[in-house]
Structure 1
Amino acid sequence: MWNCPLRAAAPAALVACALAAVASPARAALGGAPMPTPSDATTTIVSPTARVASAATSAATSGTVAAPQYSVHSTVFSSGTNVREYVGADGTVFGIAWNGPRMPDLQTLLGNYFPQYASGVQALHAARRGRGPVAVEQSTLVVHSGGHMGSFFGQAWLPSALPAGMTGADIK
């Protein structure tokens, strides 16, 4: 059995340890810099074409070229899990989305926001006494996560860090 220092702790901490024990490696943190590409993964960086095309059209009439507000760094691990980091013009990750056969390491992905997420999950489990999708929605952090063995998905974002005109529904 894996060694988790929080074995006697609250259920949310136990879930976190279990996920960390089986998770795909990732080194990014929400609110920080994008993760470097791990050796077992490939990363592509894409600017959102619809927003860039729209900005280019309006820029053509005004004579200026608008820079994209963010880019999406998509990392596919050898396990098949895809983690998409939404990176602002300042180089900070303001949103993360994932899907695939293995759950990513949320403790690493959420960074300093993980304790806030874990307490939200603990409160959710205490209120509903069951399993199911997780939705932690707070003023500083939103995390939606769900799935089952072999098919996990979710997204997390910092509401105050979303670029102008963007909503949490754009993190996918």
Structure 2
Amino acid sequence: MEIALGLEASGQQFIWVVKKDENNGHESSEDWLPQGFEKKVEGKALVIRGWVPQVQIIEHLAVGGFVTHYGWNSVIEAISDGVPMAMWPALADQFYNEKLVIQILGIGVGVGVSKWARFGGERVKSEAIETVVKQIMVGEKSEEMRSRAKKLREMARNSVKEGGS
């Protein structure tokens, strides 16, 4: 619910991929979406239920940012495609990855989660989602992150070329 409210309030176009309910193969949107949400964001948002080809979405030129839990694969995919990230770590190495991306590489913004949690975790409010989405999508800071992300993309691509590092 908080994610939906934050994404809508950001005013940005978005794709939101959500997992289907494992128990019955479909979702119950009334449990996690504000009433009328999909109608309100129609034309500027896409809510996809189930699996998507994440790499193909992230590498699309129209993608300006990526909200991620900061698993290493997602970080590498975003860096390889030059996309700034909004960080939402939950467990394991994700907090270290967040520090790398935000403090060292300078291509991310955190939602404010600070404690490791296998289940549940810290609650993130819609205002935090709205803020980080705007930070990676709009303004001078987002342009700086995007520029650094593009440089890192080139470095990553050059490293795997013939004779690369």
The two structures have a TM-score, normalised by structure 1, of: 0.23
Greater fraction helix? 2
Structure whose alpha-carbon radius of gyration is higher: 1
Greater fraction strand? 1
Which structure has the higher relative contact order (CA within 8 Å, separation 6+)? 2
